[in-house]
């Protein structure tokens, strides 16, 4: 009986010990999993400082990131020139407004994410709380456009946020805050790239290089053009600014064109993507160079142009050495040059002369140039979209004068 009682006591002891070990293990496992979500706030002041710190970091990061994002989006406009109609880069006021809106939208997302994160934390009693905020606030660049145009903010600028009102409600107290914050966005050439691209456009360089690159791309069929990229790099005159150029060619050969700069008459789009490799912006843990992207549309336009064509002949002229009169001649058609939008050769070329049995024999290549006008829809400066069949050339003819002339 005594042995049976001792056995029961031992079994009971082991059972209790096992339960304690299992409960301890489960408790340790639970709290180790939850530890990353547990923050101890000693007071509402601690909660406030935690949230304000988050706001400052979020605002600073977004101020840098959105300066690059705005630049890559052309500060609100992808196309800055419409050739040959107009140039229309974003004004400083438009560019700043676009950046401000981007910054506010990006900060709004960070605020909502941060508040959800904090509201969902496991907080020690009695400081369970909720944070609410109003979205009626503003973000803006601090500075005048006149200073941006003259280069004062080429490598830094100030940006601010104000009017963020948020309320922290705990189980036993409540606090209301009206937050304003200004930072210096240093080592950042976003406004330098904007200013240079703006000047490059309004001074006509973008339109001119776009015409040239468009014509070259259409005529040669080679889209790998760098005229505008090189032109902007030289205009900026900073070895750290490097550009890539993209040329898109469209079939816009309409006869006649619609009204000037109509979408159907779009011939080329030229886009530049320029990086300032001397300054980087941190985005999602990766460093990217500060950048700007902008471009031009080149349109075909109604015009009257002159086309040229040359009929090419091989000629032989025989002249009597005594009378100096033509006694035999023949010119045979061998080629046709054109139609083209520039003057073709005209007259004799490569004249040769020899004497034989009292005769002077002249040979030459002879060009007969013809020209005519057509109304069509070309790119400015060249009638690439003025299709015209060649005019007929005589197969042969016999001149009665020495059209070859004397050798030069």
Residues 346 and 324: beta-carbon distance below 8 Å:
no
Tokens 């003057």 locate to 343
Q: Which residues contact 330 (CB under 8 A, 6 or more apart)?
A: 315, 316, 396, 398
Lowest mean pLDDT among 130-134, 208-212, 271-275: 130-134
Output 339 or 333, whichever has higher pLDDT.
333
Percent of the chain with pLDDT over 90: 56
What is the C-alpha to C-alpha distance for residues 311 and 290, in angstroms, rounded to an integer? 56
Q: How confident is the model at residue 368 (pLDDT cuts 50, 70, 90)?
A: very high
**CA 296/CA 83 separation, integer angstroms:** 7
Quote the distance between the C-alpha of residue 373 and its chain's center: 39
Structure tokens at 30: 């639970």
Question: Rounded mean pLDDT of 117-122?
Answer: 63
- Hey, which bits of 19-70 come out as E strands? 38-39
Range in 79-83, 129-133, 196-200 with the lowest mean pLDDT: 129-133
What pLDDT sits at residue 256?
Answer: 73
Residue 5: pLDDT over 60: no
Structure tokens at 75: 């500060």
- Asked if pLDDT for residue 160 goes beyond 60, the answer is yes
Which one has a higher pLDDT value, 196 or 255? 196
Structure tokens, 206: 């973008």
The share of the chain scoring above pLDDT 70, in percent, equals 82
**What 3 state SS string does 270-289 have?**
EEEEEEEEEEEEEECCEEEE
pLDDT for position 342? 84
Question: pLDDT class for 371, splitting at 50, 70, 90?
Answer: very high
What HEC string does 362-398 produce? EEEEEEEEEEEEEEECCECCECCCCCCCCCCCCCEEC
User: Is 80 exceeded by the pLDDT of residue 19?
Assistant: no
State yes or no: pLDDT of 102 exceeds 70.
yes
Q: What is the pLDDT of residues 286-338, one digit of tens each?
A: 899 999 999 999 998 887 878 899 999 999 999 999 899 999 999 999 999 98
Mean pLDDT value across residues 385-393: 80
For residues 87 and 108, give the distance between their C-alpha atoms in angstroms, rounded to a whole number: 34
Q: Look up residue 255 and give its two tokens.
A: 């006869």
Residue that has been written with the tokens 């079939």 in this structure: 251
Q: Is the pLDDT of residue 8 over 80?
A: no
Give me the pLDDT at residue 20, please: 42
- pLDDT tens readout for residues 60-97: 999 999 999 999 999 999 999 999 999 999 999 999 99
* Buried-state track 242-268, b at ≥16 Cβ within 10 A, e below 16: ebebbbeebebbeeebbeebeeebbbb
Return the pLDDT at 23: 41
pLDDT band at 205 (very low <50, low <70, confident <90, very high): very high
Residue 271: is its pLDDT beyond 50? yes
pLDDT value, residue 347: 95
**Among 172-176, 204-208, 241-245, 396-400, which is the least confidently predicted range?**
172-176
187: its two tokens: 């080592």
For the record, the structure tokens of 172 come out as 């036993």
pLDDT confidence band for 110 (50 / 70 / 90): confident
d(CA 66, CA 75): 10
Largest CA distance in the chain: 162
pLDDT of 128: 56
């Amino acid at each position: 009986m005594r042995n049976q009682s001792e056995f029961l006591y031992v079994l009971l002891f082991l059972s209790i010990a096992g339960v304690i070990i299992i409960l301890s293990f489960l408790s340790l496992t639970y709290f180790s999993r939850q530890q990353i979500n547990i923050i101890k706030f000693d007071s509402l002041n601690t909660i406030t400082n935690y949230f304000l710190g988050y706001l400052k970091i979020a605002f600073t990061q977004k101020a840098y990131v959105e300066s690059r994002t705005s630049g890559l989006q052309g500060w609100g406009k992808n196309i800055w020139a419409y050739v040959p109609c107009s140039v229309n880069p974003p004004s400083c006021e438009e560019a700043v407004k676009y950046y401000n809106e981007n910054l506010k939208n990006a900060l709004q997302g960070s605020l909502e994410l941060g508040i959800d994160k904090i509201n969902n934390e496991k907080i020690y009693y009695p400081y369970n709380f909720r944070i609410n905020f109003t979205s009626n606030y503003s973000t803006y660049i601090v500075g005048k456009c006149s200073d941006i145009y003259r280069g004062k903010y080429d490598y830094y600028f100030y940006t601010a946020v104000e009017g963020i009102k948020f309320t922290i409600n705990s189980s036993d107290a409540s606090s209301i805050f009206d937050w304003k914050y200004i930072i210096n966005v240093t080592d950042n050439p976003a406004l330098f790239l904007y200013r240079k691209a703006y000047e490059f456009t309004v001074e006509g360089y973008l339109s001119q290089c776009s015409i040239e690159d468009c014509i070259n791309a259409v005529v040669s069929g080679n889209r790998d053009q760098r005229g505008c990229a090189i032109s902007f790099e030289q205009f900026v005159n900073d070895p750290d600014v490097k550009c890539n150029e993209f040329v898109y060619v469209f079939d816009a050969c309409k006869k006649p064109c619609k009204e000037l700069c109509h979408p159907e008459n779009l011939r080329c789009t030229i886009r530049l993507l320029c990086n300032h490799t001397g300054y980087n912006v941190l985005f999602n843990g990766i460093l990217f160079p500060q950048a700007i992207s902008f471009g031009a549309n080149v349109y075909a336009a109604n015009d009257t142009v002159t086309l040229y064509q040359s009929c090419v002949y091989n000629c032989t002229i025989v002249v009597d050495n005594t009378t100096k009169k033509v006694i035999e001649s023949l010119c045979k058609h061998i080629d046709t040059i054109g139609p083209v939008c520039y003057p073709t050769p005209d007259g004799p070329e490569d004249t040769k002369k020899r004497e034989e049995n009292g005769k002077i024999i002249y040979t030459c290549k002879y060009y007969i140039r013809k020209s005519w006008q057509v109304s069509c829809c070309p790119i400015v400066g060249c009638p690439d979209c003025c299709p015209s069949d060649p005019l007929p050339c005589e197969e042969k003819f016999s001149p009665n004068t020495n059209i070859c002339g004397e050798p030069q």
